[in-house]
Amino acid sequence: MKQSGQDKGTLLLALIAGLSINGTFSAVFSSIVPFSIFPIISLVLTVYCLHQRYQNRTMPVGLPGLAAACFILGVLIYSTVVRAEYPDIGSNFLPAVLSVVLVFWIGFRLRGRKHEASE
């Protein structure tokens, strides 16, 4: 049970890393989005925590793929929110649809891991 909590923490950190890397990129390179230091701080701390988890624990089978999916989900969610807030950037339809598909895929994979662990 404790391993499952650690796995969820890793997935949450991957999601935050995706959000913060897209936020950092937007803050530094986009003239429409105002600059903020907080996505950069968040990115540094999240990458440090993920690196520590990678060094100190073994990742179960299937977790790296889920972590990558959570990272991409974070990138897509931030892109969707920023495009909704600043419509001059473009439409947020494609990132929103891809986010929903990715959420269902992650949920399906997590449910499959839960059933596999209970057997």
User: Residues near 92 by Cβ (< 8 Å), separated by ≥ 6?
Assistant: 79, 80, 83, 84
Tens-digit pLDDT profile for residues 18-58: 999 999 999 999 888 889 999 999 999 999 999 999 898 88
Residue 24 and residue 119: Cα distance in Å, rounded? 42
Tens-digit pLDDT profile for residues 59-113: 888 899 999 999 999 999 999 999 999 888 889 999 999 999 999 999 999 998 8
pTM: 0.90
- Residue 118 tokens read as 């209970």
CA distances from 88 to 21, 31, 36, 48, 114 (A): 21, 11, 20, 34, 42
Residue 61 and residue 51: Cα distance in Å, rounded? 18
